[in-house]
Amino acid sequence: MAIKKEKLEEIIKKSFPKASINIVDLAGDDDHFSLEIKSSKFNGLSRIKQHKMVYDALEGKMGGELHALSIKTINEE
């Protein structure tokens, strides 16, 4: 399964419209990405809660269309 980088960014932006997002296609196969996302929505939340917010934003694509996504969440002061 695979997903286009632009599509991935579009999906995430729906839940994080004001976040700054940096997505890298790690293997060039539309299947292994790294995502760095900076948002004030993460402030004060545990890492688990932050990552769960990102997984929820992916509308169930994680593990299906999207095989591997490494996530780095950053608070926005």
Least Å distance, CB 62 to another protein, is: 4
Residues lying near another protein in the complex (CB under 8 A) are found at: 47-48, 51-52, 55, 60, 62-63, 68, 70-72
User: Which one, 11 or 62, has the nearer CB to another protein?
Assistant: 62
- Matching residue, tokens 């997984």: 55
Least Å distance, CB 20 to another protein, is: 18
User: Which one, 1 or 63, has the nearer CB to another protein?
Assistant: 63
DSSP bridge partners of 33: 25, 69
Contacts of 45 (CB under 8 A, 6+ apart): 53
Q: At what angle do helices 47-57 and 5-15 cross, to 10 degrees?
A: 120
